[in-house]
Structure 1
Amino acid sequence: MRTLDVTNACRVAALLALACVLAGPNLLADEIAGEILTPPPKPQPRINGAKAFGVRPGHPVLYTIAATGKRPMTFSVANLPEGLHVDARTGRISGTLTRRGTYRMTLRAENALGKAQRELRLVVGGDVLLTPLLGCNTFGGWGSRVTDANLRAAAKAMVDKDLINHGWQYINIDDGWQGCRGGPFNAIMPNEKFPDMKALCDYIHGLGLKAGIYSTPWMTSYAGFIGGSSDDPKGAWTKPAKPQDGWRCGKHFFEANDARQWAAWGFDYAKYDWSVNSVELTKRMTDALAACDRDIVIELSNSVPLTGAAEYTALADLSRTTGDLVDFWNRDAMDNPAMRRWAVGIREVWLKHDAWAPFQRPGHWNHACNLRIGLLGGWRDRPLTPSHLKPNEQYTHISLWCLWGSPMIIGTPIERLDPFTLSLLSNDDVLEVQQDPLGEQGRRMPLPVGEAAVKRMEDGTRAVGLFNVDEEPKQVTIQWADLKLNAPQRVRDLWRQKDLGVHAKGFTATVQPHGVVMVRIVPAAAAP
């Protein structure tokens, strides 16, 4: 049984993390660093992103072929159904399909150095989100101070930093856009920070991306803006002295009004945020969205009750499994006693999320909260400062979310990404685990030393994370017999994108404190 020693590989990360702490809150984004394990993309084409895509009959299709490689690059699609069109320069597939069914097509990308192709299953039916969402959200960076300019900057950066070519798609507004009720649908209108919502959505769509919005069934949102209900039949709202005074549902609900307005503007995603406690309210909103003439996926946030998981997950596309994650390993590491009362760290999410595994499937994803890497400050209502998570902990964070198949929603301003953080978000071997269309959530497996998370993939292989939750380096071993495997396996280190050879009975790695070694395991007889 061979051993992978990553001790030296992580020393630089630890030293740089210490430098971040000593430098204080004025540290610039490009000075935040850790050991970058992700190799640069090769210049030849590689197709990434979703292998399965859902759309409802007659609704608009927008699918951008995600492909890394040197530009210029041309795109084509074999067996493209009638009603759809592909832009050969951008790789955007658009149009509509009215007939239900599964359409199998071959995506192709070509540049001067080579060609790549991969199958896409486009399913016209009831489920839309057939692989876990990849996107961003404004609250972790900007909080309720978010503006139209912040969304446009995020969309532009998602393209300029090449995240779109790794499969990232959604640009989502959080709390803070709301003004007052009005307009043609008597819906919530934007405040002065968002002068033209349709123009904003058109801009995002024009880049090949998708747009998301935020609301709540309460009268007042968490940040103190108008919500989706009112005690007044026309929806009048008075700002309460304290936001929490409005954290209740009014007598009259306006989810149909708001959904129609979101569709008219062109939104593709809605975060519905409150202390989730009503299947009826959830169904009212999902029915309102289903009645629209475009697909709008819905996230239920936050802390969806596990006792009602079967009912909630049958309705929503994403369900938040815990409270609000902040950028600490666990509650004990939080420097603010008040924060410990409402927030969770990586370890608390880790221990709770596993119970949700039976409820995950293509079309519904267990959402473990937004990513806490990069520059953050939104929920603190303070200037942006580096994540408190150490580099090893950030690798664990991303590895867990990918092994779980959790949606990954970037919580830092994308335009401010440093090279280390960008490397965490652009490793295609790692992202392929998250995007696997089988949709199984990786399960926690205690080991004699350390822990594992094991995910079964659509092709029958397994992705495995070996984790060290202790404060000292550990040798972590997984035996093939623990995985019900009885033959030698070929092992690939996913973060380094490096083959580690054939291992007869198991695999051992030296894993740093709060760190991970993430591998893909393929039967040796089946491996190329």
Structure 2
Amino acid sequence: MLRLVKITLILVALVGFAGRAAAQGVPVARDGGAATPAQGVAATPPMGWNSYNCFGSAVHEDEVKANADYMAAYLRPYGWQYVVVDFLWAYDNPPGSVIGNPFQKRLQDGSYIPWLAMDRWGRLTPDVNKFPSAFGGKGFTALAAYVHGLGLKFGIHVMRGIPRQAVWARSPVLGADGVTADMIADTASTCDWMNHMYGLDMTRPGAQAYLNSLLNLYAAWGVDFIKVDDIARPYRAAEIEGYRKAIAHCGRPIVLSVSPGATPPADSAHVAANANMWRMADDFWDNWKEIVGMIGYARQWQGRGGPGHWPDCDMIQLGKLSKRGPVGPERYSRFTEDEAYTHMTFWCIYRSPLMLGGNLPENRPFELALFTNDEVLAVDQLGVDPRELSADDGMLVWYSGVPGSQDKYVAFFNLNDVPANIEVPLSRLGFAGGVAVRDLWRKEDIGTFRKTYNRLIAPHGAALFRFSGR
């Protein structure tokens, strides 16, 4: 049972940045247009928790609640709000099933085993062995209400398209008289690593109606966030538009996250107009080389994020991981402390969505401190137009603006295996005179500097500052 403790909250800065973010405003996409993201959500990068990195395809309702309880008690005051159930919630995961298995076999009559939980309209529903409150056709209604009761928001992962078993069963499409699942499926459009679904042929009558029926169902459950998988690589423009239209049609503000990457940069305008966040790379895990690789992906997308549309560095690989798969043994993150600071610092200076991947109740004081530094989180939520200033022999400097001022957020990264002294000419950041430097991780003022500022950075380490002109 989660032991609750009293927390002294540092709310002044957070209330300020939350209010300013809300004031930015995001235009709402109309059902027929493609100029802005649907519903005007995600004015700042979404912050929350996702079940995949610690529970794989086998999270259970009580574990979701435990993570929601932790978030409400410790993290919600700092802006964390989404609780997302990932991957295969319609499947029972019997003993011996792992992600590498195909999960379904086709019988001679064309049906599939195991039969996923599905309603008569070909829409997947939660497996009641994993989510007992779904019994009786209630779906995620009770779990979403529990999460909402904690002052948080609820999300789910879905695979794009329509279940193959719905196609086999010729399930009727709600809202499209005379149309059945087999009439809208694109049976040549399949996922390379999961054989549950067919893609949708969005040119066929009834395809949009099917997606509308899905989002109407999710809205009725109380869903605030959907992560749609197998849709950004290869890039499925018509289906992404279909989900955006369905969100607008359902009338509930819902964040649309598309996955996995690498999303093609050539499609940057389209994805920014239709999704609220998109993966820049394939699944990110707790290996140093993957941080280095993610910075490379981020360079391709710098300048393309903003209110309502955010390039996504993927989930934060800190805390207790892989308790029930999906990659490697159960463990605390393999990142060293210096690498963990680099991980959090880059995600924040870049303004990536922040989705925690570890099992929150098993966080240690170190993880809790990383996730509750209000000055660091403000960089993610408030920074303006993050850019790389320099990259010299593994020594990187990134910066972003501070709203309502000439100040700059500045991050130093040492990607080398030995300590490195990183120096930045203040004129390159637009400062003509003295600059006061504050260390945001340490929450301390360093002093006033002229012309240059330098810091010795540990191997694989980082530092994060606020520079203020004097």
Q: TM-score range, shorter-chain basis?
A: 0.7 to 0.9
Cα distance in structure 2, aligned partners of 1:156 and 1:41: 14
Cα distance in structure 1, aligned partners of 2:325 and 2:385: 31
Matched, 1:314 2:280: no
Question: What's the CA shift string for 1:138-182, capped at 9, x where partnerless?
Answer: 00000001111111111101122x201111000001002125464
Matched, 1:48 2:14: yes
Contact 2:17/2:378 (<8 A) preserved? no
Partner of 1:390: 336
Partner of 2:107: none
Question: What's the CA shift string for 1:352-377, capped at 9, x where partnerless?
Answer: 11211232111111111000111111
- DSSP-derived class of the 2:23 partner: strand
Contact 1:185/1:258 (<8 A) preserved? no
- DSSP-derived class of the 1:324 partner: coil
Matched, 1:368 2:280: no
Matched, 1:328 2:287: yes
Q: Aligned partner of 1:416: which letter? A: E
Residues 1:520 and 1:201: Cα distance change in structure 2 (over 3 Å): same
Q: 2:199 aligns with which of 236, 240, 249?
A: 249
Cα distance in structure 2, aligned partners of 1:461 and 1:184: 57
Partner of 1:293: 251
Q: 1:187 aligns with which of 116, 120, 123?
A: 123
Deviation at 1:452, TM superposition (A): 0.6
Cα distance in structure 2, aligned partners of 1:456 and 1:348: 25
- DSSP-derived class of the 2:41 partner: coil
Residues 1:431 and 1:41: Cα distance change in structure 2 (over 3 Å): farther
Matched, 1:514 2:460: yes
Cα distance in structure 1, aligned partners of 2:43 and 2:26: 11
Task: Please list every run of 5 or more consecutive structure 1 residues that lacks an aligned counterpart in the other structure.
Answer: 1-39, 54-117, 220-225, 331-344
Contact 2:224/2:255 (<8 A) preserved? yes
Partner of 1:409: 355
Matched, 1:284 2:234: no
Residues 1:489 and 1:122: Cα distance change in structure 2 (over 3 Å): closer
Contact 1:454/1:463 (<8 A) preserved? yes
Q: Aligned partner of 1:295: which letter? A: P
Within 5 Å, which residues of 2 pair with 1:98-137? 121=23, 123=25, 125-126=27-28, 127-137=40-50
Residues 1:227 and 1:139: Cα distance change in structure 2 (over 3 Å): farther
Q: 1:486 aligns with which of 432, 437, 442?
A: 432
Q: Aligned partner of 2:42: which letter? A: L
Matched, 1:167 2:79: yes
Residues 1:248 and 1:306: Cα distance change in structure 2 (over 3 Å): farther
Contact 2:231/2:260 (<8 A) preserved? yes
Cα distance in structure 2, aligned partners of 1:52 and 1:210: 16
Within 5 Å, which residues of 2 pair with 1:26-105? 45-48=11-14, 51=17
Partner of 2:141: 198
Question: What's the CA shift string for 1:119-142, capped at 9, x where partnerless?
Answer: 963848512111111100000000
Contact 1:52/1:130 (<8 A) preserved? no
Deviation at 1:187, TM superposition (A): 2.1
Shifted more, 393-402 versus 192-201: the winner is 192-201
Residues 1:128 and 1:449: Cα distance change in structure 2 (over 3 Å): closer
- DSSP-derived class of the 2:57 partner: helix
RMSD of Structure 2 on Structure 1 (CA): 2.8
Deviation at 1:209, TM superposition (A): 0.2
Q: 2:65 aligns with which of 143, 146, 152?
A: 152
Within 5 Å, which residues of 2 pair with 1:2-21? none
- DSSP-derived class of the 1:360 partner: coil
- DSSP-derived class of the 1:51 partner: helix
Partner of 1:262: 218
Cα distance in structure 2, aligned partners of 1:408 and 1:233: 40
- DSSP-derived class of the 2:301 partner: helix
Cα distance in structure 2, aligned partners of 1:296 and 1:129: 9
Relative to its length, the structure with more strand (as a share) is: 1
Q: 1:178 aligns with which of 77, 90, 111?
A: 90
Cα distance in structure 2, aligned partners of 1:469 and 1:247: 41
Matched, 1:505 2:451: yes
Partner of 1:58: none
- DSSP-derived class of the 2:56 partner: helix
Number of matched residues?
Answer: 397
Cα distance in structure 2, aligned partners of 1:386 and 1:497: 26
Same amino acid, percent of matched pairs: 27
Question: What's the CA shift string for 1:218-269, capped at 9, x where partnerless?
Answer: 45xxxxxx589846641499xx9x9544565256853222111110000100
